[in-house]
Amino acid sequence: ATPLQIELELVRISDHVSKNTSAGHITAFYRPWEDVRTEKFDGLIITGAPVEQIEYQEVTYWDEMRRILDWSQDNVHRTLTLCWGAMAALHHFHGIPKHALTEKATGVFSHANRVPANPIMRGLPDRFDVPVSRWSELRATDLPSGRGLEVLADSAETGLCLIADPAHRTVHMLNHLEYDTLTLAGEYARDEGRSLPLHYFPGDDPAGEPSNTWRGHGHLLFGNWINETYQ
């Protein structure tokens, strides 16, 4: 939705076989990272994966993920990491551990805008809704001092959400402002109703149709990141 002209390149882990997307689709639209590693990019978005319950070193593509993160420091101007991608980057660059949750954190939660003057947060209200969907968390008490990390947004119910990492020209988002209206409903159905998304269905009744209360916030955040990359 940005007025800036963007050429998008879809990239995948080189040797990983996706369980949730057909091989034909992946081959048709995504290039292996090994094929683009000699190129340079203005921006890089590293998305999440449903592996946050697995130790980093046990993820089959962890070594390549680390190479990609290191590569981004010399070949990408700005990076935005999402969900497990954010956890992985913060662990790789800063040694921050992730902690398993006894129950899945899922739903739409109110978040506080901690640094309204930060260019990434420009125009966002003091409080805004963000979809959350994860089995692990990062804790503010584990953030190392002296590294320049800055908490941009967090929630009293689900903790950290947005962290600025200027030393690595990266913004880390642990949650999901990119979700569509029915993404959480689809995850709830996929998980056979085991983890009800809170504050999402009307009256927390999954028979009701949810309303999207975060769409504008998502457009604004991604637009701010793109604009900062362009500037």
Q: Are 17 and 23 spatial neighbours (Cβ–Cβ below 8 Å)?
A: yes
State the pairing for strand pair 31-32/76-82.
unpaired
Distance CA 212, CA 131 (A): 10
Q: Are 160 and 151 spatial neighbours (Cβ–Cβ below 8 Å)?
A: yes
Q: Are 49 and 201 spatial neighbours (Cβ–Cβ below 8 Å)?
A: no
Q: CA torsion sign, 98 to 136 to 218 to 43?
A: positive
Confidence of residue 21 (pLDDT cuts 50, 70, 90): low
Closest CA to 198 of 112, 132, 101: 132
Exactly one of 111, 168, 172, 176 is catalytic; which is it?
A: 176
Six-digit token string for 230: 């362009």
| Digit-coded pLDDT (tens) for 108-158 | 999 999 999 999 999 999 999 999 999 999 999 999 999 999 999 999 999
Q: CA torsion sign, 156 to 159 to 161 to 162?
A: positive
Query: Residue 228: what pLDDT?
Result: 95
The single-letter DSSP state of residue 83 is: T
Give the mean model confidence (pLDDT) for residues 1-13. Answer: 90
Closest CA to 43 of 85, 87, 95, 80: 80
Exactly one of 168, 172, 178, 217 is catalytic; which is it?
A: 178
Range with the poorest average pLDDT among 23-32, 83-92, 135-144:
23-32
Distance CA 134, CA 129 (A): 16
Give the mean model confidence (pLDDT) for residues 6-15. Answer: 90
Clarify whether 199 is annotated catalytic: no
Distance CA 39, CA 171 (A): 22
Clarify whether 77 is annotated catalytic: no
Six-digit token string for 180: 């569509």
**Can you name the residues that pair with 31 across neighbouring β-strands?**
11
Query: Residue 17: what pLDDT?
Result: 64
Clarify whether 161 is annotated catalytic: no
Distance CA 138, CA 151 (A): 12
Distance CA 58, CA 74 (A): 27
Give the mean model confidence (pLDDT) for residues 199-209. Answer: 97
Exactly one of 83, 161, 168, 172 is catalytic; which is it?
A: 83
